[in-house]
Amino acid sequence: MVLNACLLILGIILLYAGSEWMVRGAVSLAFALSVRPIVVGLTVVAFATSAPELLVSIVAAYKGSSGVSLGNILGSNVANIGLVLGSSALVRPLVVDKGLLTREIPFLLAASAAFWVVCADGYIGKTDGILLLCGLGAFLAMGLVTAKNAGEDQADVIKEKKKIAWQIFLVLAGMGGLMAGASLVVNSAIFIARQVGLSETFIGLSIVALGTSLPELATSVVAGAKGEHDISVGNVVGSNVFNICMVIGAIGLFNPMAVDTGLMRFEFPAMTALTVLLWIFSRTGFVIGRLEGFFFVAGFFSFIGLSYWMGNA
């Protein structure tokens, strides 16, 4: 138990260091390549911070732990909006790019609804996986269409391009730190949780989901504190799309699995409702303020409490 507690602390340190390097490298790289930071947050950073969910969920599905696998994605998406965006807004109110309200957030709403629908029959199969992966392709294509940033000062761009190798190193080092940190956090957290007798599904919804969301938490809070709102908000929206379309899509295609239909009573509706609230809050002055942030954080902890209560009722 003591060893796992130490590994948990080490993992958190690696997550923070990795997020710091990734934000710094990704923002500079976006400027050097004349790519809008919001697109970097929605794609590169979102993919990197979704990597723990991908690895954990695929491994869990392969080992037959469908509760951990699916619960991880449901809980992670709730944690990304409730805990990650909420905490970021509490640190510093977040300005929302108007393009998110017309493109990416509606896409996330559609993806969340599709996730609910494909799981409603109690099974995620190959056809479901193909449809979700096609959705990921459409999301990436949409990002590429809007990727270029017009009006940059050419002298500044040329100056930044000279540092491109260092920026790429920072992004890769950040990814490595996030991956290693997430692995340590999740493995040690699962061990500790099982020692106190928590169910597999609840472990997936809470402990594992929180562990795999720590990269998003660290990345978005650091980016928000630095005033990089596009990275902070874009990371959460993009990560949730990646979690659904990439992770669940890959599971459906390569390792179809059964779904606990009991999750349809509360967990799926809660995830979808929180996504709708993200869209509503973002429309109020294009800012997610501290009050909305507090509401999101409270919503996350309410979700965990109600999931535990309903699972043991």
pLDDT tens profile 184-204: 877 777 787 778 777 778 888
In this prediction, residues 132-160 reach a mean pLDDT of: 69
Specify the pLDDT at position 122: 92
Strand partners, 123: 258
pLDDT at 66 over 50: yes
HSE on the CB side for 211, CA within 13 Å?
Answer: 35
pLDDT of residue 150: 47
Tens of pLDDT, residues 11-40: 878 877 877 787 677 767 766 766 666 677
- pLDDT (mean) for 169-175: 83
- Mean pLDDT, the chain, integer: 83
Poorest-pLDDT segment among 107-111, 148-152, 219-223: 148-152
- Alpha helices, DSSP H only, in 146-228? 154-161, 164-195, 200-203, 209-225
Rounded to an integer, what distance in angstroms lies between the CA atom of residue 60 and that of residue 66? 7
What's residue 117's pLDDT? 94
Contact assessment for residue 252 and residue 126, using Cβ atoms and an 8 Å cutoff:
yes
**Count of CB atoms within 10 A of residue 297's CB?**
18
At 170, the amino acid letter reads: L
Confidence of residue 276 (pLDDT cuts 50, 70, 90): very high
Answer yes or no: is pLDDT of 52 > 80.
no
Q: What is the pLDDT of residue 86?
A: 93
What DSSP designation does 227 have?
T
CA 222 to CA 16: how far, in whole Å? 8
The more confidently predicted of residues 28 and 151 is: 28
pLDDT in tens, 86-128: 999 998 898 888 888 888 899 999 999 999 999 999 999 999 9
Q: Which pLDDT score, from 0 to 100, does residue 33 have?
A: 67
Q: Does 84 have pLDDT greater than 80? A: yes
| Rounded-to-integer distance, Cα 14 and Cα 253, Å | 32
Whether pTM > 0.95 for this model: the answer is: no
Q: How confident is the model at residue 148 (pLDDT cuts 50, 70, 90)?
A: low
In terms of Cβ atoms closer than 10 Å to its own Cβ (0-12, 13-18, 19+), residue 241 is buried
How far is residue 253 from each of residues 68, 71, 147, measured CA to CA in Å?
Answer: 18, 18, 29
* Three-state SS annotation for 105-154: HHHHHHHHHHHHHHHCCCEECHHHHHHHHHHHHHHHHHHHHCCECCCCCH
**Percent of the residues in the chain that have a pLDDT greater than 90, as a whole number:** 34
Distance CA 53, CA 246 (A): 10
Reported as a pLDDT band with limits 50, 70 and 90, residue 161 is: low
> What is the per-residue pLDDT for 188?
79
* Structural domains of the chain, with CATH: 2-312 (1.20.1420.30)
pLDDT at 137: 93
Tokens representing 183 are: 């692995």
pLDDT at 279 over 50: yes
Using DSSP, state whether 186 is helix, strand or coil: helix
Q: How high is the pLDDT of residue 216? A: 79
293 pLDDT higher than 60: yes
